[in-house]
Structure 1
């Protein structure tokens, strides 16, 4: 479902995958079948819920074997940009990702690659309504 054109299918498919990947058997299957790359691709979705599920799924799929791919320079740079987002949900999750899954060196290198702005990456549309 992660490669579908229909954004609803991607959003709900990734949400289901996020719920399933904490099980060791499911996690192994997802990692062994190339699912990590598909999840990483979902970080560029314009939908807030899809991005949030992608962020969470990446954290859940991080193992000793997958850590290099989960914390690839492009992913870490994306997380640095997301951590500066005005969307608090995305910003908070990206900050947790950077703190818990990346080394200080990785974060510093990613910061040097970018201008510390969200320009150049699509930001998801917020589904939150002002109070």
Structure 2
């Protein structure tokens, strides 16, 4: 769920966890670890953080989007999934350029094969596409609608 700065401050107090510091730690852990399961867990966490607009600037500043992109070419199907999930989530950033959102959806469509169909076409992606479909930018709206029609068989 999207959280405001006020909500976070109220929940965690003045001395609560510093979100920027925590995201930086996760990013550094992902880059340093050689353990595959740890990489998967960290990237999954970063992808989840990419869903909340309060984290957008921090993730861009930490170049986490590059980690998501890198993961899409990994041999590990879970890293691919979490990388695409992170990209799908951060595409909701309203400052994100239209062409990049459309290109991300096009790339994702091209990555779908019979072998990974169920891994990529998750309920989370469906929900993300539903939100993107409501975007006021015509190209983004049209592409999300086509994606939903072609792969989820509904508009």
TM superposition score normalised by structure 1: 0.57
Shift of 1:19: 2.2
Shift of 1:33: 2.6
Q: Is the 8 A contact 1:14 1:53 kept in 2?
A: yes
SS of equivalent residue, structure 2 residue 56: helix
Shift of 1:45: 1.5
Pick closer, same or farther for the CA change 1:69–1:4 going to 2, 3 Å.
farther
Of 42, 47, 54, 2:83 maps to: 54
Work out the CA distance in 2 between the residues paired with 1:33 and 1:2: 12
Pick closer, same or farther for the CA change 1:86–1:37 going to 2, 3 Å.
same
Work out the CA distance in 2 between the residues paired with 1:69 and 1:3: 28
Looking at both structures, which has the greater relative contact order when contacts are Cα pairs under 8 Å and sequence separation is at least 6?
Answer: 1
Structure 1 counterpart of 2:40: 11
Deviations 1:23-59 (A, max 9, x none): 3322221023322122111101222221111111111
Work out the CA distance in 1 between the residues paired with 2:64 and 2:33: 17
Shift of 1:76: 5.0
Work out the CA distance in 2 between the residues paired with 1:35 and 1:29: 9
How big is the alpha-carbon RMSD for the aligned residues of Structure 1 and Structure 2?
3.5
SS of equivalent residue, structure 2 residue 72: helix
Work out the CA distance in 1 between the residues paired with 2:85 and 2:41: 14
Work out the CA distance in 1 between the residues paired with 2:33 and 2:84: 20
Q: Is the 8 A contact 1:20 1:26 kept in 2?
A: yes
SS of equivalent residue, structure 1 residue 71: helix
Q: How many residues align?
A: 107
Structure 2 counterpart of 1:44: 73
Work out the CA distance in 2 between the residues paired with 1:65 and 1:11: 28
